[in-house]
Amino acid sequence: MKGIKTFKELLVWKKAHELSVDVSHLVRNFPEDEKYELCSQMRRSARSIPAEISEGFGRFHFNDKLTFYERSRASLFELSNHFEEAFGNRYISNNVFQSFKKRMDEINFLLNRMIRKIKRSRNEHKATKSLKLKTKTRC
């Protein structure tokens, strides 16, 4: 993530934000009795995905970043479950379901890649820090 100055530059945030906006538009066509149930849950979990990414981006420590990126991934899985419900109840067509599923799979891939990079950086930082401590104690 070197050279990236704002969370809005992250591809994963852009895709998650677009997904969130599209989910908000999609659920407007759901039955009225789902307005405060499934619609609300889908909007909330969809909005949480880019929100957690942006909050994680603003954190300085590896473990803090990981916490928020992992929460984002959890919200993505929650949204995926809600799409299963919507499809099962025939609120959306198979084409719509598959289209959103493909987008969620891509976001999951990008989130997992980002999480792996953060973990790798954290481990390298720990190794470097440990090596410096060992070098100091020998002198």
DSSP secondary structure code for residue 64 in this structure? H
Work out the pLDDT band at 3, boundaries 50, 70, 90.
confident
How confident is the model over 75-86, as pLDDT tens digits? 999 999 999 999
Question: CA 23 → CA 55, 105, 130, distances in Å?
Answer: 21, 15, 46
Share of residues in the chain with pLDDT > 90 (%)? 81
How confident is the model over 49-61, as pLDDT tens digits? 999 999 999 999 9
Closest of 53, 27, 51, 55 to residue 41, by C-alpha: 27
Contact 73, 111 (CB under 8 A): yes
Domains in the chain, ordered, with CATH?
7-138 (1.20.1440.60)
Which amino acid makes up residue 109? F
Which amino acid makes up residue 75? S
Q: Model's pTM, two decimal places? A: 0.87
